Copies of this chain bind each other. A is one copy, B any other.
Amino acid sequence: MARTLPGADWSIAAAMLQFPGTHDGVPVAELPSAVWRQQLEPVVEAGFSAVEIPTSWISIGDLPDPRVAELRAVLEDAGLEVPGISVVRRSVIHPERGEDNLALAHRTVDAAAALGVPIVCVGLHDELLDAQKQVTWFWTVPGAQRPTDPETYELAVRRYRELAEHASGVGIELSLELYEDTYLGSGKDGVRFLEDIGHPAVGLNPDVGNLVRQQRPIESWQETFALTLPHANYWHIKNYARLEDPSRDLVLTHPTSLELGIINYREMTQAAIAQGFNGAFVVEHYGGDGLSVGASNADYLRSILPARTTRETSETEK
């Protein structure tokens, strides 16, 4: 499809959504680095030169320093840049694990800095509920709902501000992921939450795929992007089909490719770049073979992105 590729110099990272955290019962983090290298080979073969490391694969904040060095060597050997670390489903306001999750986030910030990774992506969603694990698509049944008391909201603001201050001190940024039923559950809420944090080392991850897949009425994706793109510093990018029968209040969604879904990413990436976005894309895809769809999505992005402008400082990226 791609004919000319001015978009070739953007960082487009594979997601590792389909990669399990254990291998024959052993946590991946404890395996020899040769196995890490082997597990990354399909990412390389699929054509990627960048990958996001999620804590669900290897929690780099929990790795001893020598193993971080090993991971760095493996990534270099594979020719994979890491534009971001994602702290997956570890809410800093979880009623029981909130403090542990916050501590992990802090350790991850340090490890990211040690690994030379500029972004740590965090969010207020936590483990799926049992009911969500028992269905084909977890977003088709209700998940955990955000706390409505002002104290917890303030706690989230404070903890992220504190994390941002830490990140800023070691030269990296946070990106807050939009996610249903959290304080980041719409463009409007996300921007308000970001502004309440009010720290220059925090931006948004406009992962609008998380919102358009909800099988109920939603903020229009055009509106969500209009509100959030000015604040975007990192981008989990994915798309969905959305089938509706208004006469029955029925909405059904399904993961599809960036090109075939309802969001017009040609338009949204142009709008983002016009507003200064210069971050990395992470091509996520739920459903079958997420890595192959991700590779097709990367090809698609390269076919529509303009040439990337070099920026002097990361501050200008927001």
Which A residues lie at the B interface, using CB under 8 A?
A: 1, 3-4, 18, 42, 45-47, 135-137, 140-141, 215, 239, 241-248, 250, 252-267, 287-293, 295-296, 299-300, 303-304
Q: Which residues of B contact A246 (CB under 8 A)?
A: 135, 140-141
Given contacts A261-B288, A266-B289, A292-B303, 17 further A-B contacts (CB under 8 A): A1-B299, A3-B45, A18-B264, A42-B266, A136-B262, A140-B245, A141-B246, A243-B254, A244-B252, A256-B260, A259-B288, A259-B293, A260-B293, A263-B288, A264-B290, A265-B288, A267-B289
Q: Is the CB of A266 within 8 A of B287?
A: no
Tell me, rounded to whole Å, the shortest Cβ–Cβ distance linking A121 to chain B: 24
Pull 5 A–B residue pairs with CB atoms less than 8 Å apart, ordered by A. Answer: A4-B45, A18-B264, A252-B252, A264-B287, A292-B303
Tell me, rounded to whole Å, the shortest Cβ–Cβ distance linking A244 to chain B: 5
Q: Is the CB of A242 within 8 A of B136?
A: yes
Tell me, rounded to whole Å, the shortest Cβ–Cβ distance linking A272 to chain B: 14
Q: Is the CB of A259 within 8 A of B304?
A: no
A244-B252, A245-B252, A257-B260 known; A292 and B141 CB under 8 Å? no
Tell me, rounded to whole Å, the shortest Cβ–Cβ distance linking A143 to chain B: 13
Tell me, rounded to whole Å, the shortest Cβ–Cβ distance linking A305 to chain B: 11
A1-B296, A141-B247 known; A264 and B288 CB under 8 Å? yes
Q: Is the CB of A287 within 8 A of B261?
A: yes
Q: Is the CB of A215 within 8 A of B245?
A: yes
- C-alpha gap A143/B141 in the complex (Å): 30
Q: Is the CB of B259 within 8 A of A253?
A: no
Q: Which residues of B contact A262 (CB under 8 A)?
A: 136, 287-288
Q: Which residues of B contact A245 (CB under 8 A)?
A: 140, 215, 250, 252
- C-alpha gap A300/B261 in the complex (Å): 19
Q: Which residues of B contact A18 (CB under 8 A)?
A: 264, 267
Q: Is the CB of B137 within 8 A of A3?
A: no
Q: Which residues of B contact A291 (CB under 8 A)?
A: 266
Q: Which residues of B contact A296 (CB under 8 A)?
A: 1, 259
A245-B252, A252-B243 known; A1 and B292 CB under 8 Å? yes
Q: Is the CB of A266 within 8 A of B292?
A: yes
Tell me, rounded to whole Å, the shortest Cβ–Cβ distance linking A229 to chain B: 16
A265-B289, A293-B259 known; A137 and B253 CB under 8 Å? no
Q: Is the CB of A300 within 8 A of B304?
A: no
